[in-house]
Amino acid sequence: MSIHITGFGTALGERMVTNIELETFLDTSDTWIKERTGIHRRHWGGTTEALATQAGKEALFNSNLDPEQIDLIILATTTPDRVMPATSCAVQYNLGLSCGAFDLNGACSGFVYAIVVAHSMLVGGIKKILIIGADTLSRVTDMQDRTTAVLFGDGAGAVVLENIPFGDNDTSTDSKPETFDATNDKMLLGWDAGVDGSALDLLYCNHGGYMQMEGQEVFRKAVRATVSSILTTLKRAKLTSADIALFIPHQANSRIIEAVSSRLGIPEERTVSNIDYTGNTSSASIPLAMAKAASSGRINKGDNILLAGFGAGMTWASAVIKWNVGK
Ligand code: COA
């Protein structure tokens, strides 16, 4: 068996908002935002359900699967549309699926957590999982607060992960678990995930309130936690930074990305950034950046791809995946 990514999908909030537009109602400037964050524009609008459905639909289409072939949806989100039920229930219905579904809240680390969870389920025998990272942080942002309003955007990114038996032309819709085979061609070569709950007050949002953030401290912790997590992951995967073909980090601030990449010795040409047009889309940021890199030909079969996220909690997660794309 071999675990592959067989489809991607993306969605961005319906309205593009430039830094120049922010200047009209906030005490900020295009120059400050670009220099301090790398963000030129972001997209606001829509619900988590709608964006996740759009990205999920595209990923299903690109993987050539019928809805009934999907065995599970995992929706990574920290901005569910309702307290209950999980937003993934609505997405499951919208996509015409008949499988199980659950939300996973790992904040901006959520997509990497979801990859790790999904991979272990695929190794356990499930065949096809739709993972979506979707967030609509503009809905919990105080648009009069310049320290947060300039940073966040809305979006969704989706991937289909399939466990394909060697030689199978993949026409089966049977999702019965198979026996675990230690010779699996695994996609996940190493991973690490963690939380420092004592730092919860640095970034949080209470019910009915707006996001509260201590930016500088989040910045410092983000760099430290991401680097440390990646070093753990690389060690577990028995790899070094030199073995990484492409680094796809969470897109929170281009200076965080640069600090992490430089500490790891990964040059800019092997680091993906799309923060200039997305802003920080939380759980959606890594799948959006991954889809961009894949569609622009920056990833080749067999490449070792490093993913790393950090976010409210404070959570962090990193993973190295072997790029088995397509069937
Ligand atoms: N426009 C203009 N000036 C701004 C501003 C804005 N949007 N936001 C803050 N400032 C001002 C501050 O008030 C401060 O002014 P002062 O020197 O007169 O007091 C000055 O800019 C510097 O503020 P500071 O907070 O030190 O800036 P910074 O370089 O740390 O950048 C962040 C602020 C928020 C961009 C940065 O700390 C950051 O990205 N932190 C991590 C946030 C994050 O990633 N959150 C999500 C985690 S998933």
Q: Which domains does the chain have, with CATH numbers?
A: 2-164 (3.40.47.10), 184-322 (3.40.47.10)
pLDDT cut 70: percent of the chain above it: 93
Query: Catalytic one among 105, 108, 119, 324?
Result: 108
Listed in sequence order, the residues at least 6 apart from 20 whose beta carbon sits closer than 8 Å to its beta carbon are 30
Q: Using a 6 Å CB cutoff, which residues line ligand 1?
A: 28, 32, 36-37, 108, 146-147, 150, 203, 213, 215-216, 218-219, 222, 252-253, 280, 311
pLDDT for the residue numbered 172: 43
Report pLDDT digits (tens) over 92-139: 999 999 999 999 999 999 999 999 999 999 999 999 999 999 999 999
Q: How many CA atoms lie within 13 A of 290 on its CB side?
A: 32
pLDDT band at 185 (very low <50, low <70, confident <90, very high): low
Q: How far is the CA of 218 from the centre of ligand 1 (A)?
A: 11
**What is the spatial distance between Cα 260 and Cα 321, in angstroms, rounded to a whole number?**
19
Q: Distance from the CA of 155 to the center of ligand 1, in angstroms?
A: 23
Mark whether 280 is an active-site residue: yes
Nearest to 134 by CA among 225, 49, 66: 49
What's the 262 CA to ligand 1 centre distance in angstroms? 21
pLDDT score at 182 = 36
The residue whose CB lies within 8 Å of the most ligand 1 atoms, and thus the one to mutate among 211, 219, 221, is 219
| Mean of all residue pLDDT scores within the chain | 93
Which pLDDT value is given to residue 238?
Answer: 96
Atom 31 of ligand 1, residue of closest alpha carbon: 36
**Which residue has a Cα nearest atom 46 of ligand 1?**
252
- Residue 167: what pLDDT? 57
Measured in angstroms, how far is the CA atom of residue 249 from the centroid of ligand 1?
A: 20
Kindly report which listed range (44-58, 75-89, 173-187, 230-244) carries the lowest average pLDDT score.
173-187
Nearest protein Cα to ligand 1, atom 42: 215
Atom of ligand 1 nearest to the CA of 253: 39
Nearest ligand 1 atom to alpha carbon 213? 45
Please tell me the distance between residue 217's alpha carbon and the centre of ligand 1 in angstroms: 10
Phi, psi of 27 (to 5 degrees): -80, 75
Is residue 108 part of the annotated active site? The answer reads yes
- CA pair distance 6, 8, nearest whole angstrom: 7
Model confidence band, residue 177 (pLDDT cutoffs 50, 70, 90): very low
Mutation probe of ligand 1 site: the residue of 26, 34, 36, 138 with most atoms within 8 A of C-beta: 36
**CA dihedral (89, 95, 100, 102) positive or negative:** negative
pLDDT of residue 264: 98
250 catalytically annotated: yes
Please count the CA atoms within 13 angstroms of the CA of 118 that sit on its side-chain side: 37
Q: Kindly report, residue by residue over 53-62, the tens digit of the pLDDT.
A: 999 999 999 9
Q: Which of 4, 43, 119, 250 is catalytic?
A: 250
Model pLDDT, residue 307: 98
CA torsion sign for 31, 225, 314, 161 is positive
The structure's pTM equals 0.94
The 10s digit of each residue's pLDDT in 292-327 is 999 999 999 899 999 999 999 999 999 999 988 776
Q: Answer whether residue 171 shows pLDDT above 50.
A: no
**pLDDT tens readout for residues 135-169:** 999 999 999 999 999 999 999 999 999 998 765 54
Q: How far apart are CA 63 and CA 80, in angstroms?
A: 26
Nearest atom of ligand 1 to the alpha carbon of 311? 48
Residues recorded for the chain: 327
What tens digit of pLDDT does each residue of 187-211 get? Answer: 899 999 999 999 999 999 999 999 9
Across residues 237-246, what is the average pLDDT?
97
The CA 37 to ligand 1 mean position distance, Å, reads: 9
- At 79, the amino acid letter reads T
Could you read off the pLDDT of 251-294 as tens digits, one per residue? 999 999 999 999 999 999 999 999 999 999 999 999 999 999 99
Per-residue model confidence (pLDDT) at position 176: 36
